[in-house]
Structure 1
């Protein structure tokens, strides 16, 4: 279980998160919803260690945890970014297998075997040797998810996973997220799409801009 206690974050004197408390049980899906500027992405970035908090604490499986200063954070919390952040000069296969080899010290053969299993699972077979510019938005999304899963994270975070997709692809993303839940993957999803959130989430956190 991931627990957040009294998390506070400010930017330039403006409070974005104010004494936020939250629990995400193992294997569940949390959706974070709210208007632009309410702190959804900031919260996700704090959870994933991309931003530091000003005060408060994180507890993971009953132990204090600092996502911003954990050398193994890539193995604990994976992130699927809104703009995917695929390496444009690498093929799909290389995008997926690079980090497991560099960070997890997997052999090339092991990284490729794990990567191929995930590629097959997310219906990307035949795309292994393509480059990101040759993929559709939905295919890039799935590659980004596979790349995060290849690190075997305990928690997978998504920043607006449907915002760059055509409406008819939203259901595909829903199916992927719910499929990962069946495998007991804990997931945290930032979204502006309330219907999407209601379709996937065990709990929904609504955040609002904090008035000065």
Structure 2
């Protein structure tokens, strides 16, 4: 279980998160909704260790945890970014394999097996040698998810997973997230779409702008 206790974060004197308390159960899906400027993405970035909080603490499996500690977060939190952030000069397979090779120092055989399993799991085997410019938006998103999963995180975070896609793909994304839940991974989803949030969520958090 991930707990956030009294998390506070400000930018330039403006409070974005104010003593936020939250519990995310293992193998659950938390949807975070709210208007622009309410702190959804800031909260996700703090959980992922991309922003350091001003005060408060994170507790993972009953132990204090600092998401911004590079050595601690390698296998804890993965992020699927809104614009996917794929490397344009690398193929699908190379995009997925890069971090396990460079960061986890896995051997070639282990990487190859894990990448093949992820390609099969996410329906990407047919595009494994293609480059990002050759992929549809939905395919790019699945590659980004595969790349995050290749690091074997305990928690997978998504920043607006439907915003860069055709609205007709919303249900496909929901099904994918629900399928991943069956693997035992905890997921946190930032979204502006309340209907999508309710469809996937075990837990719903609505954040609102703070009057400073």
Counterpart Cα distance in 2 of 1:112 and 1:126: 16
Counterpart Cα distance in 2 of 1:116 and 1:173: 21
Q: Within 5 Å, give how 1:25-174 maps onto structure 2.
A: 25-174=25-174
Normalising to structure 2: TM-score of the pair? 0.98
* Secondary structure class of the residue paired with 2:44: helix
Normalising to structure 1: TM-score of the pair? 0.98
User: Which segments of structure 1 move beyond 4 Å, counting only runs of 4 or more?
Assistant: none
Shift, 1:8, TM fit: 0.1
* Secondary structure class of the residue paired with 2:8: strand
Shift, 1:116, TM fit: 1.1
Question: 1:79·1:157 contact (CA, 8 Å) conserved in 2?
Answer: yes
Matched residue count: 212
Consecutive unaligned residues of structure 2, counting only runs of 5 or more, are: none
Q: Write the deviation string for residues 81-133 of structure 1: whole angstroms up to 9, x where unpaired.
A: 00000001100000000101111111122112101111111111111111101
Shift, 1:15, TM fit: 0.2
| Superposition CA RMSD, Å | 0.7
Shift, 1:168, TM fit: 1.3
Q: Write the deviation string for residues 129-163 of structure 1: whole angstroms up to 9, x where unpaired.
A: 11101101000000000000111100000000000
Question: 1:97·1:108 contact (CA, 8 Å) conserved in 2?
Answer: no
* Secondary structure class of the residue paired with 1:173: helix
Question: 1:4·1:59 contact (CA, 8 Å) conserved in 2?
Answer: yes
Counterpart Cα distance in 2 of 1:190 and 1:138: 17
103-112 vs 40-49, which deviates more? 103-112
Shift, 1:74, TM fit: 2.3
Q: Paired residue for 2:16?
A: 16
